[in-house]
């Protein structure tokens, strides 16, 4: 029976076992092992033992700094088993609201072509108003310019600014040079002041409709250099759902009088159809230079937008078939005169073209007093006591209630500068208005 290892390593158990841990670095080698190459496992164990090991204390692990240490040092944490990672929540896939879409789009500095999809809230919205809502920084002239050049397309087809959009359509927007709007925190005091002002000019209000008496000089919507306008003021009436009252038609900045606002989505859609179908009856009062020879008549022309040499835009009488020419019809009647020098006209627009009444009054040779764009009588002197402001008032609006609750019939008083002129000329504004029963076509 073998009692020991007779090899050069000496008795059994005196040498290192195969695959065991070699002597620590610096320890004297076994002279008996000289001349014998260590095994692969022994060499690997020796290399591992030569590496510096981190110092360990109970509950703490210290690590050596890396070659490029970070500017801050990690905070030691107790060692122990890791907790299982919590399952990730499924991403929310709800469709964004119109307010979220508008806010996101308005903050983008658009440097390339964009493809925007029409949301449910934007269904049946005019293209120009769609752009104004998505890009509040865009001026009216900028919108008209990209439309006129054919750079704006709907589902790949060229579109006009007054075309109506449908939910799901894709609107191609050309590159726009926009300045991102500065977002300022809302002020409760400013909102209260705005609400107080809107109440002071409210002529009619119910759960669906507001009719404001818009002052002359207050813009309805924002534009180049315009920071205060009705649409911006309506933000103060925004509900918790992000919805606010909406404009359903416009008035020129210098025109005073009845402005209809929808308080709900349903009312906005219904009233928009009312104005498109010409079911709304609108009556304007104006003070014009001279007196028309025909005391009651009909003005029918085509109007097209033209750009003046100074970059300003105005409407001009055009021919049928001209680029951008649209048919415009206005009925008028002479209510009162002042020595054949001034005439009080009652105007009833059948169509709703931009600057229609102002362009038509100038077309028949009797421009509206104080009109900076269309007053075209040379060497005409303004009578003393009359202010050089646009004498045009949206006097009356009559339209069916959006929920079928009868008829809304609202009249606006004369603005201060027109009241002054009426008193000076002896006009009585309580008298019968002969244009009310004028035909619709």
Query: Hey, which residues are catalytic here?
Result: 252
Q: How far apart are the first and last CA of the chain?
A: 131
Torsion of CA 178, 184, 190, 196, to 10 degrees: 40
Residue 296: name the closest of 374, 390, 364 by CA: 364
CA 339 – CA 204 distance, rounded (Å): 37
Residue 248: name the closest of 233, 260, 230, 236 by CA: 260
What is the token pair recorded at 388? 């050089």
- Give the count of alpha carbons within 13 A of 403, CB side only: 11
Say which residues have a Cβ less than 8 Å from residue 410's Cβ, sequence separation at least 6: 203, 204, 211, 258, 396, 397, 398
CA 223 – CA 227 distance, rounded (Å): 8
Q: Percent helix, strand, coil in the chain (nearest 5)? A: 20, 25, 55
**What are the CA-CA distances from residue 329 to residues 297, 342, 348, 435 (Å)?**
11, 23, 9, 14
Say which residues have a Cβ less than 8 Å from residue 224's Cβ, sequence separation at least 6: 139, 140, 141
Say which residues have a Cβ less than 8 Å from residue 106's Cβ, sequence separation at least 6: 134, 135, 136, 137, 181
Bridge partners for 393 per DSSP: 256, 285
Rg of the Cα atoms in the chain: 40
Spatial contact of 298 and 435, defined as CB atoms under 8 Å apart: no
């Amino acid at each position: 029976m073998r009692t020991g290892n007779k090899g050069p390593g000496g008795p059994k158990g005196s040498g290192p076992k195969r695959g065991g841990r070699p002597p620590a670095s610096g320890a004297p080698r076994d002279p008996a092992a000289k001349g014998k190459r260590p095994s692969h496992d022994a060499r690997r164990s020796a290399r591992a033992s030569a590496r510096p090991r981190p110092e360990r204390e109970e509950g703490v692990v210290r690590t050596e700094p890396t070659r490029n240490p970070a500017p801050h040092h990690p905070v030691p944490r107790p060692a122990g088993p890791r907790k299982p990672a919590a399952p990730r929540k499924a991403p929310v896939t709800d469709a964004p609201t119109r307010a979220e879409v508008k806010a996101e789009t308005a903050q983008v500095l658009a440097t390339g072509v964009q493809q925007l999809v029409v949301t449910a809230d934007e269904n049946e919205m005019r293209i120009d108003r769609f752009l104004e809502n998505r890009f509040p920084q865009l001026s009216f002239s900028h919108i008209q310019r990209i439309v006129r050049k054919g750079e704006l397309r709907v589902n790949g087809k060229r579109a006009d600014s007054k075309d109506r959009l449908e939910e799901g359509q894709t609107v191609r927007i050309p590159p726009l040079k926009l300045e991102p709007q500065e977002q300022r925190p809302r002020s409760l005091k400013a909102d209260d002041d705005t609400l107080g002002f809107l109440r002071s000019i409210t002529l009619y209000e119910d759960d669906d409709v507001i009719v404001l008496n818009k002052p002359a000089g207050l813009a309805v919507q924002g534009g180049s250099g315009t920071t205060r306008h009705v649409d911006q003021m309506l933000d103060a009436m925004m509900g918790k759902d992000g919805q606010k009252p909406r404009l359903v038609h416009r008035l020129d900045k210098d025109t005073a009088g009845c402005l209809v606002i929808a308080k709900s989505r349903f009312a906005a859609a219904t009233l928009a159809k009312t104005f498109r179908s010409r079911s709304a009856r609108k009556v304007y009062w104006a003070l014009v230079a001279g007196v028309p020879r025909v005391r009651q008549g009909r003005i029918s022309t085509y109007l097209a937008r033209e750009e003046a040499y100074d970059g300003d835009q105005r409407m001009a009488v055009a021919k049928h078939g001209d680029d951008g020419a649209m048919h415009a019809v206005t009925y008028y009647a002479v209510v009162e005169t002042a020595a054949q020098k001034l005439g009080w006209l009652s105007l009833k627009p059948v169509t709703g073209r931009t600057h229609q009444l102002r362009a038509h009054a100038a077309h028949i040779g009797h421009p509206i007093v104080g009109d900076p764009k269309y007053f075209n009588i040379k060497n005409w002197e303004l009578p003393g006591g009359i202010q050089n402001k646009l004498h045009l008032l949206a006097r009356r609006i009559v339209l069916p209630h959006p929920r079928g609750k009868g008829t809304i019939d609202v009249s606006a008083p004369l603005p201060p500068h027109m009241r002054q002129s009426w008193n000076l000329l002896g006009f009585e504004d309580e008298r019968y208005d002969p244009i009310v029963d004028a035909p619709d076509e």
